[in-house]
A and B are shown apart, each in its own frame.
Chain A
């Protein structure tokens, strides 16, 4: 059973607002990831963290930013939301980069 949680599950917000999507895991995993998934499309990595205070951009360019101050938390922030940011955002974690990845339930973001 994966212990990785995302909040909120659903968010509808107006253009220009600042938002933070939360991701927490209780498994003590060093590696954490943020993926973006549009409906019917494959997942694309947008951020990766290999430990506290260590983050990298993923393959898909994103205007979002992340932080990793604590092992358990990997929040994603959009300073000024736009309709183009409407998507599903999935957080994941793993012990190492070649072990099983566990995913949260996702946050479905709609920017109007």
Chain B
């Protein structure tokens, strides 16, 4: 069974631009969560989608948004990029039940210049 796939793996953008990152969960998984990892703040929860609905949201500005499609694939978008948005963005998928484990992708390394 294929793991969680995130594309692209690396990305360089300019301040003010917007970016869209993609995550394909493990087949059969309906929950997709997104995390941001920076050296200063560590791993922080962005949001979670389950069956195309946002179920949880972290403490990030409205420039960060996401969505989930009917096939469970998810995208996250960051608009008006700032230098501080440079980070490793990680996606995790799970079956969605209360006590099931989440599996992470390898992440997208975003650099804002």
User: Do they bind each other?
Assistant: no
Q: Which A residues are closer than 8 A to B by beta carbons?
A: none
Q: Which B residues are closer than 8 A to A by beta carbons?
A: none
